[in-house]
Amino acid sequence: MTAIDLDATSPKHLADKYAIVGVGETEYMRGNGSGRTTRALGVQAIRAAMNDAGLKPGDIDGMLSYSGNDSTFSTFMAGDLGIRLNFYMDVHGGGSSTEALVGIAIGVIEAGLCKTVAIYRAMNGFSQVRIGGTGARSAAPINGDQLHARAYGWQSAGQMFAPTFMRHMHDYGTKPEQVAMVKVIHSEHASNNPKALYKKRMTVDDVLNSRMICKPLHLLDCCVETDNGNCIIVTSADRARDCKHHPVLIRSVVGRCCKPRIDMHYQHGPISTVAGHYAKDILFPNADVKPEDIDITGSYDAFTFTTMLQLEDYGFCKKGEGPTYVSDGTMRLGGKRPNNTSGGHLCEGYTHGIAMVIENVRQLRHDVDDSCPIGPDGKRQHTYDYREGGCRQVKDVELSANLGWAMPGTGSSMIMRRA
């Protein structure tokens, strides 16, 4: 039996047993940057998520974070907030970490190590360690295995993924103007998100006329580097009932599922296929739902292409039909299955995936933070008018899927449902 034949779909008894009860973030910043440490960003985000859940420092006893040598560890966050921890761990990683850490949180709570876990990502991705790879990451010496990549100017995420994107265009006739629609639609969503850094609605021509970075990626095919802190809080469904908001339950999680030869995954083709091809066989059986049951998606948009490739390989459309799926209005607010209703990493800000989970939690609460008026009961009165500056709440949303991306060969995912 090879690794990919292993059945990872046994723990169905965990579906709906855990919940995300608190979400919080700082503002998304560029320009002069955040003007504060990643410690400050993390503390502010965790505090916001605790307040959102109605939890006090004594209610949190677990902490998880992820970073790439560009953040501050859990011990400082817990200390600042007077949280005594029964469990914590800081892991290495960027995109795809959020969903994987939710899986770890469920595992350690289930194992009795702690009862409520705060997961955070705090980064100055614009003003300190540039996520695009300029600055410190470019200056680092090139050693050993890196001679097979960085020595060839093959270093940044866009450069590393370009062969996958280009091969998809070759294999399936994917057109630049189809992929550009991902940016167009996410920018429409961002225009209804007061938090979003880039709120301007973009056109296909805007994308195609922006300067070429690394073919096939124009500037506007790429996400925005920002400074920000974000946090989600995971606890049991039982405890979730005592928290402030309508519970959002976790139905299934896939954590950093890989293609073969993850050290150099291009050795095993088709290189236009990504990790979702494998992850879907864990995600949907564990949740006992099918792609067509999902109301909204959060398909990671480090680039326009990453959103499209994942929607294809997770089975929201047939392989090769991604270009049509992302350009025919399906994933627009008001469409059949809106994607990244916050504007995502292309427009709201770059958080390595955690903000896309936060957005779907708010959607499932039927309480996204748009500009709709707040009623006498303190809840937003959503208009479902998706014109610029208007509503971004999806009507009657019950099930969401987050599709996290680390690289073509590695991805994580999570299905959540409204209790």
Partner 1 sequence: MALQGTHLGMNLTVDDLDIENIAYFGHCAKHNFHLQRCDDCKLLRYPPTTACPFCTCLESTWVPVEGKGSVHSYGEVHHGIQPQFQKQTPYLILMVDLDTQKGAPTEHDALRVVANLVTPEGQLTSADQVARVGIGTRVQMVFSDLSPGLSLPQWTIDESVPQPKPWRYPE
Is residue 92 involved in binding partner 1 (CB under 8 A)? no
Token pair of 25 as six digits: 């973030």
Nearest to 397 by CA among 414, 413, 417: 417
Strands 248-258, 18-25: pairing kind: antiparallel
Q: Which is nearer to partner 1, 169 or 361 (CB)?
A: 169
Q: Which is nearer to partner 1, 169 or 254 (CB)?
A: 169
31-39, 146-154, 235-243, 401-409 -> range binding partner 1 (CB under 8 A) = 146-154
Please report how close the Cβ of residue 220 comes to partner 1 at its closest, in angstroms: 13
Q: What is the C-alpha to C-alpha distance for residues 30 and 300, in angstroms, rounded to an integer?
A: 21
How far lies 115's CA from each of 12, 107, 419, in Å? 20, 11, 20
Is residue 209 involved in binding partner 1 (CB under 8 A)? no
Is residue 37 involved in binding partner 1 (CB under 8 A)? no
The site string for partner 1 over 278-307 (x = CB under 8 A, - otherwise) reads ------------------------------
Please report how close the Cβ of residue 312 comes to partner 1 at its closest, in angstroms: 17
Given 300, 314, 325, 386, which residue is catalytic?
300
Q: How many residues bind partner 1 (CB under 8 A)?
A: 46
Token pair of 302 as six digits: 């480090």
Please report how close the Cβ of residue 162 comes to partner 1 at its closest, in angstroms: 3
Please report how close the Cβ of residue 80 comes to partner 1 at its closest, in angstroms: 35
- By CB under 8 A, name the one of 10, 211, 374, 377 that touches partner 1: 211
Q: What is the C-alpha to C-alpha distance for residues 345 and 68, in angstroms, rounded to an integer?
A: 18
How far lies 220's CA from each of 94, 130, 163, 214, 305, in Å? 21, 17, 18, 12, 11
Is residue 176 involved in binding partner 1 (CB under 8 A)? yes
Is residue 320 involved in binding partner 1 (CB under 8 A)? no
CA–CA–CA angle 382, 418, 361 (5° rounding): 70
CA–CA–CA angle 223, 226, 227 (5° rounding): 155
Q: Is 300 a catalytic residue?
A: yes
Q: What is the C-alpha to C-alpha distance for residues 262 and 244, in angstroms, rounded to an integer?
A: 42
Is residue 153 involved in binding partner 1 (CB under 8 A)? yes
Please report how close the Cβ of residue 134 comes to partner 1 at its closest, in angstroms: 6
φ, ψ of residue 339 to 5 degrees: the values are -120, 140
Token pair of 334 as six digits: 């008001």
Residue that the structure tokens 């974000």 belong to: 230
Q: Is 120 a catalytic residue?
A: no
57-65, 69-77, 214-222, 341-349 -> range binding partner 1 (CB under 8 A) = 214-222
What's the sign of the alpha-carbon dihedral 266, 267, 271, 274? Answer: negative
Please report how close the Cβ of residue 132 comes to partner 1 at its closest, in angstroms: 7
What's the order of all strands across the beta sheet hosting 399-407? 87-92, 62-67, 116-124, 227-236, 18-25, 248-258, 410-418, 399-407, 296-299
- By CB under 8 A, name the one of 150, 280, 380, 417 that touches partner 1: 150
The site string for partner 1 over 256-275 (x = CB under 8 A, - otherwise) reads -----x-xx-xxxxxx----
Strand partners, 253: 414
Is residue 159 involved in binding partner 1 (CB under 8 A)? yes
Q: Which is nearer to partner 1, 215 or 395 (CB)?
A: 215
Q: Which residues bind partner 1 (CB under 8 A)?
A: 132-134, 138, 141-145, 147-156, 158-159, 162-164, 166-167, 169-170, 175-176, 211-216, 219, 261, 263-264, 266-271
Active site residues: 300, 350
